Amino acid sequence: MDAQILAASNKHPKPVDRVFQYGTAGFRMKATLLDSVVFRVGLVAALRSRKLGGQTIGVMITASHNPPEDNGIKLVDPMGEMLENSWEAYSTELANAKDEDVVTMYRSLEERLKINKDTPARVIYARDTRPSGPKLVTALTDALTAAGAEFTDYKLLTTPQLHYLTRCTNTEGTPQSYGDVSEKGYYEKLGKAFARAMKGKKTAGAVTVDCANGVGGPKLAELLKYLPKGSDGGVEIKIINDDVLRAENLNHECGADFVKTKQRAPPSSKAGNNERSCSLDGDADRIIYYFIDPDHGFRLLDGDRIATLAASFIGDLAREAGLSSELKIGVVQTAYANGASTKYVEKTLGLPVVCTPTGVKWLHHAATKFDVGVYFEANGHGTVVFSQQALKAFHTKEPQSPAQASALETLQALTDLINQTVGDALSDMLLVETILAHKSWTPKEWDLTYTDLPNRLVRVEVGNRNIFKTTDAERKLVEPQGVQAQIDALVAKFKDGRSFARASGTEDAVRVYAEAATRSEADDLANKVSVVVK
Ligand code: 16G
Ligand code: ZN
């Protein structure tokens, strides 16, 4: 096998003088630089599968909300969760090995991790719509073949669909079975759960869905075939930005990241006043809602809003079902969550909030500590996870009244509707639509639940971002020394001021976030902190 790996590896040489790092969302960069990285990640996927006794590992080739010329790769663990931390480091090691050292390092990882060469290795993979995808898939399959792994190509999928399929593959035929192991199985599961959750209710008017000209477009069009139609308890969906043929349109002037950072609707949107709109990102794992308020203009309903909406709805259902004393419900956020949303969850909803560092893996992990863990990043990536105890309670509790029975049914439906593996824009959209239908809310009513504090996010170019070390879920800098004290002194001068700086995990920069009582003060604080950091 060594000769085979070497020969295959030689077809995918590493660019010299490049250092790669498995970051917050795997490896991500210009697609032209990725060939050797993808090959080596393929080797890691085979090792990981063998280490886990032949369980199937997922590989996703995507660069999410980044420009069309970028691409990336990440690994998915057997239950559909993000790759275990220690393996990020192994991936990084192998990605940076000299060409001539690849085989030696592969073997040394095998030895260090006590991996049995004879255990089968199984991998499934998919990609988004980027033109560089097919070529990178060749690098991946060259590695899988050389490493003697079995593999299945799911072609084009959203990232959350690949997470779903990974979990389904590993639980097939067990009591934990997560669904049929096919793309169709995914749509069927969501479609049925949505009909059960909606209970014949209807949302008012259509929702316009901006698909970022990415893989979410064709996949949403497919999902629509499985959803109840508007008249019998469903939702009317208008798809825009679903051009996947012209690559240059991907994430261009549209998509969740555009809307969140530019704080405006995509120019192509024709949605009128008070009409619900949402935007997915390029691989459909993030979603942001928004609408035009005739009095106040563009209104963003971001990940914090979705989290608070979901927490309030599920909290009410748990109370109605007579389960609120047995189940621990909580919300997980990052430092980017608007302070007003945190206050709303703690004070108005009376639920605990936990703050973790940026990156889905941290939030997801913290959310699993609750029976119902709602987690969302402000940028729109999130989901709700249910503990085994919660699932059991929803299915075994004897209802004492028709209202209790109804609440239990809705809770059961939600556990199938909400993707348990990772944030999923399509599933989250159906969740939001369900809640708005149940509450008979327009986006305006949703928006009125609390008022966001004005905030500003600034990207600061620095000499070396690696000198910025944080603690307290990235809310405080421990290094460079003395910088945090300067930030604290600035923050103290602003009413409702809060600010922090952290090194980006995806770009070569430091991000500064600030919020304060007014727009101009938030801007002022962000700029002053940026000067300190620079
Ligand atoms: C990645 C993360 C996302 C996070 C973002 C932060 C995953 C799947 N994705 O895209 O959750 O918000 O990085 O980027 O974990 P930053 O470190 O550059 O601010
Ligand atoms: Zn994404």
Q: 129 pLDDT exceeds 70?
A: yes
The number of distinct structural domains making up the chain is 4
pLDDT for the residue numbered 273: 96
pLDDT at 456 over 70: yes
Q: Residues 239-290: pLDDT tens digits?
A: 999 999 999 999 999 999 999 989 999 999 999 999 999 999 999 999 999 9
64 is catalytic: yes
242 and 371 housed in the same domain: no
Would you state the pLDDT for residue 228?
87
Q: Which atom of ligand 1 lies closest to the CA of 159?
A: 8
Q: How far is the CA of 383 from the centre of ligand 1 (A)?
A: 15
Which of 381, 419, 465 to probe ligand 1 with, by most ligand atoms within 8 A of CB? 381
For ligand 1, is residue 360 a contact (CB within 6 Å)? yes
Q: Does the C-beta of 504 come closer than 6 Å to ligand 1?
A: yes
Mutate to test the pocket of ligand 1, among 358, 379, 457, 500 (most ligand atoms within 8 A of CB): 358
Segment 317-327 mean pLDDT: 96
Is 169 inside any structural domain?
Answer: no
Confidence at residue 264, expressed as pLDDT on a 0 to 100 scale: 94
| Ligand 1 atom closest to residue 503's alpha carbon, by position in its atom list | 17
Q: State the distance from the centre of ligand 1 to the C-alpha of 358, rounded, in angstroms.
A: 6
Same domain, 120 and 204: no
Rounded to 10 degrees, what is the CA torsion of 58, 183, 288, 75?
0
What's the pLDDT at 68?
97
Mutation test residue for ligand 1: of 363, 474, 500, 506, the one with most atoms within 8 Å of CB: 506
78 and 21 within one domain: yes
The reply to whether 92 and 141 lie within a common domain is: yes
Q: Could you give the C-alpha distances from 14 to 31, 96, 98, in angstroms and in order?
A: 13, 8, 7
Flag whether pLDDT at 40 surpasses 70. yes
Q: How far is the CA of 362 from the centre of ligand 2 (A)?
A: 16
Residue whose CA lies nearest to ligand 1 atom number 16: 504
Q: Do 8 and 152 sit in the same domain of this protein? A: yes
Residues 311 and 294 in one domain: no
ipTM over 0.90: yes
Residue nearest to atom 3 of ligand 1 (CA): 359
Confidence of residue 360 (pLDDT cuts 50, 70, 90): very high
| Domain contains 163 | no
Band (229; pLDDT cuts 50, 70, 90): confident
For the stretch 457-510, pLDDT in tens is: 999 999 999 999 999 999 999 999 999 999 999 999 999 999 999 999 888 899
* Residue 377 alpha carbon to ligand 1 centre in Å: 9
Q: What is the mean pLDDT of residues 419-426?
A: 98
Decide if pLDDT at 400 tops 70.
yes
Residue 25 lies in a domain: yes
Counting ligands in written order, which one lies closest to the CA of residue 381?
1
Cα separation, 227 vs 229, in Å, equals: 6
Atom number in ligand 1 closest to CA 505? 17
Preceding peptide of 480 cis, ω within 30°: yes
Contact 159 CB / ligand 1 (< 6 Å) = no
Provide the whole-model pTM: 0.97
Ligand with the closest atom to the CA of 507: 1
**H or E element in which residue 57 lies:** strand 56-61
Query: Rounded to the nearest whole angstrom, what is the distance from the C-alpha of residue 283 to the centroid of ligand 2?
Result: 5
CB under 8 Å to 328, separation ≥6 — which residues? Answer: 370, 371, 372
Taking the CA of 502 as reference, the closest ligand is: 1
Task: Tell whether the model's pLDDT for residue 231 goes beyond 80.
Answer: no
pLDDT recorded at residue 342 = 98
Residues 267 and 392 in one domain: no
Please indicate, yes or no, whether residues 408 and 481 belong to a single structural domain of this protein.
no
Average pLDDT over residues 100-105: 97
Region 332-352: mean pLDDT is 98
CATH code of the domain in which 525 resides: 3.30.310.50
**Residue 322 within a domain:** yes
User: Does one domain contain both 32 and 149?
Assistant: yes
What is the structure's pLDDT at 232?
66
Which ligand does the CA of 21 lie closest to?
A: 1
Domain containing residue 278: CATH number: 3.40.120.10
**Ramachandran category for residue 211: left, alpha or beta (phi over 0 → left; psi -120 to 50 → alpha):** alpha
Does a structural domain hold residue 285?
yes
Cross-strand partners of 150: 122
Domain range for residue 260?
185-299
Q: How far is the CA of 183 from the centre of ligand 1 (A)?
A: 26
Where residue 1 falls among pLDDT bands split at 50, 70, 90?
confident
**For residue 189, pLDDT beyond 90:** yes
Question: Which residues, 6 or more positions from 139, have their beta carbon under 8 angstroms from its beta carbon?
Answer: 12, 34, 35, 36, 38, 39, 42
**For residue 233, is pLDDT > 80?**
no
Q: Are residues 307 and 436 in the same domain?
A: yes
Give the separation between CA 420 and CA 33, rounded to whole angstroms.
Answer: 33
Query: At which of 274, 299, 324 does a domain end?
Result: 299
Are the C-beta atoms of 123 and 150 separated by less than 8 Å?
yes
Return the pLDDT at 230: 64
Q: Is 377 a pocket residue for ligand 1 (Cβ < 6 Å)?
A: yes
Q: Could you say which of 156, 177, 198 is where a domain stops?
A: 156
How much distance in Å is there from the Cα of 251 to the middle of ligand 1? 16
Asked if 387 and 476 sit in the same domain, the reply is: no
| Boundary-marking domain end, from 404, 426, 447 | 447
Catalytic annotation, pick one of 9, 36, 49, 64: 64
In a domain, 279, yes or no: yes
Question: With 70 as the cut, is the pLDDT of residue 180 above it?
Answer: yes
Tell me if 166 is assigned to some domain: no
d(CA 389, CA 415) in angstroms, rounded, equals: 12
Torsion 37-42-44-48 (CA) sign = positive
Q: In the prediction, which pLDDT does 24 show? A: 85
Q: 24 CB under 6 A from ligand 1?
A: yes
Residues having C-beta closer than 5 Å to ion ligand 2: 64, 281, 283, 285
Question: Ligand nearest 379 Cα, by number?
Answer: 1
Ligand 1 near 341 CB (within 6 A): no
pLDDT by residue (tens digit) across 23-38? 888 999 999 999 999 9
The 10s digit of each residue's pLDDT in 12-23 is 999 998 999 998
Question: 36: Cβ–Cβ under 8 A, 6 or more apart, which residues?
Answer: 12, 13, 14, 15, 95, 99, 139
Pairing state between β 287-293 and 277-280: antiparallel
Output the CA 24–ligand 1 centroid distance in Å. Answer: 6
Is residue 360 located within the same domain as residue 386? yes
Is residue 373 in some structural domain?
yes
